[in-house]
């Protein structure tokens, strides 16, 4: 199957027009006319994932995060990103990224469903679809029952198959209304605070981010950037296995991005 045909299928459901203006989703490296027989899906185009894709003889690496987010003035082996690009080209592989367009179209609602959120609403609307329904970044809604913050933390670990989370706030606090943004959501703190949420579930919170949230009455569960967004891998694997003909789809295995000792 031609890469351009795969791209057409992807962008029919996940148009680049849904992506944020600062984003760089789309074809990162490769020839749209190349033949794709095997596709490898990961969250990031790390050297390790590029190596795995090469070892299994994949023709295309599909990731959530783009390899290139800023302008590239040269591609050489002296540069970190240049080495990745050269590695891909020498291996005959293409790389395509689905970042904020996937966040808007699927990631937000999928994560809310996995958590079991009820009466969910979009935190930051981007557009209204053909059915008159808002689509956008993040979700806010209610849990099926009130629970302690520590119990919600355990639920997050169970539902998203992660080993640990970081909690800011009183573990015994009873909560029911949750705002959720997979990835790094602290830039949307104002929207979360005005949503009436009691707890904010996201990733990449620093010391002061967590303390400032608590001082404003908002508990925080930091599940890590990878912890919530890895759902992209299995979801897209299922999506593409149904959509693509004659292409083997291989999802990356769930991994520990960092270790706590």
In the numeric block, which tokens belong to residue 90? 């020498």
The residue whose two tokens read 């970044």 is 137
Residue 3: CB atoms within 10 A of its CB come to: 20
103 labeled part of a ligand binding site: yes
Residues 6 or more apart from 204 whose CB is under 8 A from it? 183, 184, 185, 186, 222, 224, 225
Strand-pairing partners, residue 45, are none
Please, what is the Cα angle at 75 between 71 and 78, to 5 degrees? 115
65 labeled part of a ligand binding site: yes
User: How far apart are alpha carbons 214 and 154 in whole angstroms?
Assistant: 20
Distance of CA 226 to the CA centre of its chain: 7
Backbone angles phi, psi at 220, to 5 degrees: -130, 135
What's the number of CA atoms in the CB half-sphere (13 Å) around residue 11? 15
48 labeled part of a ligand binding site: no
User: How far apart are alpha carbons 168 and 149 in whole angstroms?
Assistant: 10
In the numeric block, which tokens belong to residue 171? 């573990």
Give which of 41, 192, 211, 210 is closest to 122, Cα–Cα.
192
Residues 6 or more apart from 243 whose CB is under 8 A from it? 9
According to DSSP, the β-strands at 134-148 and 26-29 are: unpaired
* Binding-site residues from annotation for a divalent metal cation: 64-65, 103, 225, 229
* Binding-site residues from annotation: 64-65, 103, 225, 229
């Amino acid at each position: 199957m031609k890469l351009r045909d795969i791209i057409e299928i992807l962008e029919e459901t996940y148009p680049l027009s849904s992506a944020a203006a600062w984003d760089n989703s789309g074809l990162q490296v490769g020839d749209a006319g190349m033949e794709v027989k095997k596709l490898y899906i990961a969250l990031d185009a790390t050297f390790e994932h590029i190596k795995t894709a090469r070892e299994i003889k994949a023709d295309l690496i599909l990731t959530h995060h783009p390899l290139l987010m800023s302008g590239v003035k040269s591609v050489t082996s002296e540069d970190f990103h240049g080495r990745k690009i050269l590695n891909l080209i020498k291996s005959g592989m293409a790389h395509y990224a689905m970042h904020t367009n996937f966040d808007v179209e699927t990631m937000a609602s999928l994560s809310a469903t996995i958590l079991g959120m009820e009466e969910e609403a979009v935190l930051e609307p981007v557009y209204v679809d053909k059915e008159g329904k808002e689509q956008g970044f993040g979700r806010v809604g209610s849990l099926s029952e009130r629970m302690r913050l520590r119990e919600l933390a355990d639920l997050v670990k169970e539902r998203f198959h992660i080993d640990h989370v970081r909690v800011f706030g009183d573990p015994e606090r009873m909560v029911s209304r949750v705002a959720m943004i997979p990835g790094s959501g602290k830039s949307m703190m104002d929207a979360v605070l005005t949503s009436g949420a009691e707890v904010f579930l996201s990733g990449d919170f620093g010391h002061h981010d967590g303390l400032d949230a608590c001082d404003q009455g908002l508990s925080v569960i930091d599940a890590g950037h990878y912890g919530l967004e890895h759902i992209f891998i299995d979801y897209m694997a299922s999506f593409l296995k149904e959509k693509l003909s004659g292409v083997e789809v291989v999802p990356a295995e769930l991994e520990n991005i960092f270790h706590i000792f």
